[in-house]
Structure 1
Amino acid sequence: MQVFIFGAGYSGQAFAATRSDGAVRIVGTTRTEAKFPALQAAGIAPLAFDGGVPSANIINALADTTHLVVSIAPDDAADPVLAVARQTIAASMPRLAWIGYLSTVGVYGDYKGAWIDETAECRPSSSRSRRRFEAEKQWLGLGDEIGVPVAVLRLSGIYGPGRNAFVNLRDGTAKRLIKKDQVFNRIHVADIAGALWHLAGRNLGGVFNVTDDLPAPPQDVVTYAAGRMGVEPPPETPFETADLSPMARSFYGENKRVSNGLIREVGYSFRYPDYRSAFDAMWADGSWTGDSAGARSPIRAS
């Protein structure tokens, strides 16, 4: 098996670092050579891709690829991978057996807190989610055209080592924003990696929600993390008066509870089915910091 990752960032590196077979070769792209060491540390052979015409090295690696993972968001114009490499994928990847596309539960839009699954109508409200939904359709269409299964993984809010409420509390950036009845799903990066390997190893296509079992108010997550750290949580702040960027504020315009039942039906078992079990594990082993040594970092006074 050779895996090629377009956009080997946080999720892609976690996927590579947890590969289930040491014989698997993984190639991945990043925008600049300055990030090559991070990819190499995760077991990825790095190549540069900035959204322009793919290099000869990329074309050669794609020719030997059996499993393609796409983790690059569409830009204002189009999906950057399809824009420059669609013909290569369609005609010059003779070994290709499976495509995985990382998307977002944002494509569903707002459901006012109701439970939804993959059968729910997609009615994205933000321009970035509309672009994601269009990219999903394009990747699924390409798969139909070339006879290759495409798995679309709709991810909820991603967290894990180095990106979590512990880090925000340590750095003094944690907030407890209160908006009545607001909930979000989340997903630990290890379960993104696990779900990818599960689907890729079986060449399963379709649309799958990759998300936890416990949609919860965001302030509850911060409070739980503070309790594990033994520190006071930050004060509650009404959403209406909070100082937020337009993008951050837009996330609160959507409210839904997303089911992961379908990917469970095809046999995937979540390592961290809720944020509490994940936080307990990360705090116990020190991995919350994202440091390779896993040592706990001091908490900065806020």
Structure 2
Amino acid sequence: MSTLVVIGLGYSATRIVQEVSGRFDHVVVTVRDPVRAEALTLGGPEARLAVSIEAIAFDGTRRVPRLAAALRAADAVLVSAPPREDSADPLLACHRADLAAAGRLGWVGYLSTVGVYGDAGGGWVDEASACWPVSRRSGARLAVEQAWTAFGAERGVPVMLMRLSGIYGPGQNALVQMKAGTAKRIVKPGQVFNRIHVDDIAGAVAWSLAKPGISGPLNVTDCEPSPPEDVIAYAAELLGVAPPPEQSWDEVAATLSPMARSFWGESKRVSNRRLREDLGYRLRYPDYRAGLTALRAGM
């Protein structure tokens, strides 16, 4: 019986489970809340999953016997949980021995961030670029990437480090922000970001599972790094409404949270050549226009 274990069932991981669960006989997921774990296992409406799963409560602070047993039987493990406060990976911190004892383990995927590259001043970066993370969060992600790379080398298991750009998809996109009246058209000269539709994250994981010989860092990102104000303007166009007025960075910087300011403190163009050519994945939504157009049609 083939088993997939997913650590941290959040927005992206839920879509991934929907995409790849048919390849496995048994799917185990973890969430922090024991009540949510019970609801997911019982197939409650909160799950919104088209597959029967086993959910286990795991907060990353201690070893959980049920999770230990699942890991020892796992064929594939996907880690979507963030680093702990001490910058350690919760699964490696609590269950490294169980992972090391997983006799059938043939693939590990870690959902990281393009934030590990830091600020490139609007220039291009790829998987061979040096990593100089600016924020503490991205620094912790890089440390966890290194820990998983070391584990993979020690255990002889391929580890795919999926560096995600700005995630959007159903319920989490510029169209939703426009309709809620929370969208801002902030203009910061030279500022560009990449994005990735959640369906393409799921698609990339599916392709990676089919090609475990390809490992290491992989930028999971779209083909068109763009100024953020362009995305908001296009969402307004799709909705047939006027876009919010432009605001300069100097006007709004002081009103943003420290997390938002750190995000805006980085500008780069992220290459997805390895995703397309080495992994061979064809993006369903290669730019924000394709993604938002599909989301508008599904509203």
**Do the structures match in fold with TM over 0.5?**
yes
Distance verdict in 2 for CA 1:196–1:248, change over 3 Å: same
Q: 2:228 is matched with which residue?
A: 218
Cα separation, 1, equivalents of 2:59 and 2:203: 27
Q: 2:265 is matched with which residue?
A: 253
Equivalent position to 1:143, from 146, 152, 168: 152
Matches within 5 A, 1:256-295: 256-265=268-277, 266-286=279-299
Equivalent position to 1:191, from 194, 200, 205: 200
**Residue 36 of structure 2 corresponds to residue 28 of structure 1:** no
Equivalent position to 2:129, from 115, 120, 123: 120
Q: 2:163 is matched with which residue?
A: 154
Gaps of 5+ in 2: none
Deviation at 1:19, TM superposition (A): 2.1
Matches within 5 A, 1:93-104: 93-104=102-113
Q: 1:54 is matched with which residue?
A: 63
Deviation at 1:163, TM superposition (A): 0.3
- Residues 95-118 of structure 1, C-alpha deviation per residue, up to 9 Å, x if partnerless? 110100010000001110011111
Does 140-149 or 10-19 show the bigger shift? 10-19
Does 68-77 or 50-59 show the bigger shift? 50-59
Q: Kindly provide the amino acid, as one letter, of the partner of residue 265 in structure 2.
A: G
Q: Kindly provide the amino acid, as one letter, of the partner of residue 50 in structure 1.
A: D
Q: 1:244 is matched with which residue?
A: 256
Equivalent position to 1:75, from 84, 96, 117: 84
Does 52-61 or 261-270 show the bigger shift? 52-61
**Residue 166 of structure 2 corresponds to residue 166 of structure 1:** no
Q: Kindly provide the amino acid, as one letter, of the partner of residue 64 in structure 1.
A: A
SS in 2 for 1:68: strand
Q: 1:299 is matched with which residue?
A: none
SS in 2 for 1:267: coil
Deviation at 1:202, TM superposition (A): 1.8
SS in 2 for 1:133: helix
**Residue 49 of structure 2 corresponds to residue 41 of structure 1:** yes
Residues matched between the structures, number: 285
Deviation at 1:20, TM superposition (A): 6.6
Deviation at 1:22, TM superposition (A): 5.6
Q: 1:295 is matched with which residue?
A: none
Q: Kindly provide the amino acid, as one letter, of the partner of residue 88 in structure 1.
A: D
Cα separation, 2, equivalents of 1:200 and 1:206: 13
Distance verdict in 2 for CA 1:198–1:24, change over 3 Å: farther
Question: What root-mean-square deviation, in Å, do the aligned CA atoms of Structure 1 and Structure 2 show?
Answer: 1.4
Cα separation, 1, equivalents of 2:251 and 2:135: 22
Cα separation, 1, equivalents of 2:20 and 2:60: 26
Q: Kindly provide the amino acid, as one letter, of the partner of residue 167 in structure 2.
A: I
SS in 2 for 1:19: helix
Does 153-162 or 19-28 show the bigger shift? 19-28
Q: Kindly provide the amino acid, as one letter, of the partner of residue 261 in structure 2.
A: R
SS in 1 for 2:22: coil
Tell me if the contact between 2:30 and 2:57 (Cα under 8 Å) persists in the aligned partners.
yes
Q: 1:300 is matched with which residue?
A: none
- Residues 26-80 of structure 1, C-alpha deviation per residue, up to 9 Å, x if partnerless? 2110111343343463523211111122322111211221000001111220222
Tell me if the contact between 1:8 and 1:39 (Cα under 8 Å) persists in the aligned partners.
no
Q: 1:18 is matched with which residue?
A: 19
Q: Kindly provide the amino acid, as one letter, of the partner of residue 283 in structure 2.
A: F
Q: 1:205 is matched with which residue?
A: 215
Deviation at 1:17, TM superposition (A): 1.0
Deviation at 1:160, TM superposition (A): 0.3
Tell me if the contact between 1:62 and 1:93 (Cα under 8 Å) persists in the aligned partners.
yes
Distance verdict in 2 for CA 1:79–1:23, change over 3 Å: closer
Does 207-216 or 233-242 show the bigger shift? 233-242
Cα separation, 2, equivalents of 1:23 and 1:125: 38
Cα separation, 2, equivalents of 1:95 and 1:193: 23
SS in 2 for 1:103: strand
Cα separation, 2, equivalents of 1:145 and 1:3: 21
Cα separation, 2, equivalents of 1:39 and 1:27: 13
